[in-house]
């Protein structure tokens, strides 16, 4: 797939000194011969990009035109228990898209363009060793009935990363050969190049979905919702396991009608093979006080949906952030109503977890 220039048009590459020592690094640099190259000591240490919350007017330009290349230092894996059994070391950080609720920018500067890590082989070997120590999945669970699942895209969108290099292709190939494990990643983009990767049932793609009208406000620079739905059958036919993320669920007057319409569109847009394997995650919105303050500088219309102190309550995150979540005493009722609506409109779609 050619690069969609309205999404990515690389003009500047910040890179760590050793990037060209890696085959993936050389290939990416060669792909963008006209881009300006700026050597930096670390992908975490680029003052003109990171921590510059005041440059909100430049976010989209930076995300479109800037790429960061580095080496992933920490290769440890950690337990998850929701989307996957384990979170694998990320091959990227940051994104070309700019969803108004995204938690990743708070960790690495709000503009946070794509950083690709070029030591993909080392990351793959860390995953292979870890899976080898696990043995067979001890018992079927809500994550998977047969295999250990590794989330390989926690901090980015691998469908977009795959437009820039072959790291995602290599990871899909890696999991083909690990008998007791499968990969998983969520996406808000449609990259049909992935249809040729031959996952053979060992990679799960989770297409994130929400009502189209809300997505137009908060899912900035992502693929249209109907385009994501239209891709599901093709990805199933190509050998992927395809789930959906109903995420984030944003509550507002009329949300049930809008989600009901989305479920009907999903039901009409996919065929029997996709329906037979379809499962979902349901994740109600969590927002952040710091991100709210920054968003007011560039996207106040989104904040009218995301920042609702009248129905939200403060909760300190594990990382020490001041988050807002829907009030606990009401949240269980809203989840129950959401699941009842799913059972009515798409009864074949099992809810893997909801929170």
What CATH number has the domain bearing residue 168?
A: 3.80.30.30
The residue segments making up the domain with residue 335 are 12-354
Q: Does 106 fall in a domain?
A: yes
The Cβ of residue 81 has, within 10 Å, a number of other Cβ atoms equal to 12
Query: What would the mean pLDDT of 247-254 be, rounded to a whole number?
Result: 97
Q: How many domains does the chain have?
A: 1
* Secondary structure (3-state) at 111: coil
Q: Does 7 fall in a domain?
A: no
Residue 332 structure tokens: 């269980």
Say if CB 260 and CB 296 are below 8 A apart.
no
Task: Quote the pTM value.
Answer: 0.95
Output the pLDDT for position 297. Answer: 75
pLDDT band at 106 (very low <50, low <70, confident <90, very high): low
pLDDT band at 2 (very low <50, low <70, confident <90, very high): low
Q: Does 244 fall in a domain?
A: yes
pLDDT band at 89 (very low <50, low <70, confident <90, very high): very high
Q: Does 3 fall in a domain?
A: no
pLDDT band at 337 (very low <50, low <70, confident <90, very high): very high
Query: What would the mean pLDDT of 85-110 be, rounded to a whole number?
Result: 84
* Average pLDDT, rounded, for the chain: 93
Say if CB 307 and CB 292 are below 8 A apart.
yes
Helix, strand and coil percent figures for the chain, each rounded to 5: 35, 20, 40
d(CA 300, CA 80): 33
pLDDT above 70 as % of the chain: 94
Q: Is 114 exposed, middle or buried (0-12, 13-18, 19+ CB in 10 A)?
A: buried
* Secondary structure (3-state) at 335: helix
Output the pLDDT for position 321. Answer: 66
pLDDT digits (tens, 9 = 90+) for 127-146: 999 999 999 999 999 999 99
Query: What would the mean pLDDT of 208-217 be, rounded to a whole number?
Result: 97
Q: Does 104 fall in a domain?
A: yes
Q: Does 286 fall in a domain?
A: yes
Q: Does 175 fall in a domain?
A: yes
pLDDT digits (tens, 9 = 90+) for 6-61: 899 999 999 999 999 999 999 999 999 999 999 999 998 887 777 665 556 677 88
Output the pLDDT for position 235. Answer: 98
Query: What would the mean pLDDT of 350-354 be, rounded to a whole number?
Result: 96
Q: Does 2 fall in a domain?
A: no
Output the pLDDT for position 52. Answer: 61
pLDDT band at 319 (very low <50, low <70, confident <90, very high): low
- Minimum mean pLDDT among 140-154, 159-173, 181-195, 298-312: which range? 298-312
Q: For residues 105 and 299, which has the higher predicted lDDT (pLDDT)?
A: 299
């Amino acid at each position: 797939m050619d690069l969609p220039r309205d999404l990515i048009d690389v003009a500047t590459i910040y890179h760590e000194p050793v990037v060209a020592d890696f085959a993936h690094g050389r290939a990416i640099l060669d792909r963008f011969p006209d881009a300006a190259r700026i050597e930096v000591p670390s992908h975490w240490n680029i003052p003109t990009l990171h921590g510059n919350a005041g440059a909100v007017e430049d976010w989209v330009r930076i995300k479109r035109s800037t790429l960061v290349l580095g080496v992933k230092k920490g290769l440890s894996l950690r337990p998850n228990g929701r989307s996957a059994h384990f979170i694998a070391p990320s091959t990227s950080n940051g994104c070309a898209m700019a969803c108004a609720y995204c938690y990743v920018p708070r960790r690495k500067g709000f503009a946070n363009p794509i950083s690709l890590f070029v030591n993909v082989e080392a990351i793959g070997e860390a995953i292979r060793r870890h899976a080898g120590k696990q043995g067979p999945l001890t018992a079927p669970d809500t994550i998977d009935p047969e295999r250990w699942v590794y989330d390989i895209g926690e901090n980015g969108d691998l469908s977009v990363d795959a437009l820039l290099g072959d790291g995602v292709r290599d990871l899909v190939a890696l999991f083909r050969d690990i008998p007791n494990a499968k990969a998983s990643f969520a996406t808000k983009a449609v990259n049909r190049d992935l249809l040729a990767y031959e996952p053979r049932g060992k990679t799960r793609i989770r297409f994130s979905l929400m009502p189209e009208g809300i997505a137009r406000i908060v899912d900035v620079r992502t693929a249209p919702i109907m385009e994501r739905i239209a891709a599901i059958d093709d990805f199933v036919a190509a050998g992927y396991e395809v789930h959906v993320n109903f995420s984030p669920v944003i509550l507002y007057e009329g949300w049930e009608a809008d989600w009901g319409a989305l479920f009907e569109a999903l039901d009409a847009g996919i065929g029997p093979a996709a329906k037979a394997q379809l499962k979902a995650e349901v994740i109600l919105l969590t927002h952040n006080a710091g991100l709210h303050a920054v968003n007011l500088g560039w996207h106040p219309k989104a904040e009218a949906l995301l920042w609702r102190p009248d129905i939200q309550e403060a909760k300190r995150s594990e990382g020490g952030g001041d988050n807002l979540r829907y009030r606990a005493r009401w949240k269980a009722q809203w989840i129950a109503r959401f699941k009842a609506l799913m059972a009515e409109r798409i009864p074949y779609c099992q809810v893997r977890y909801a929170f």
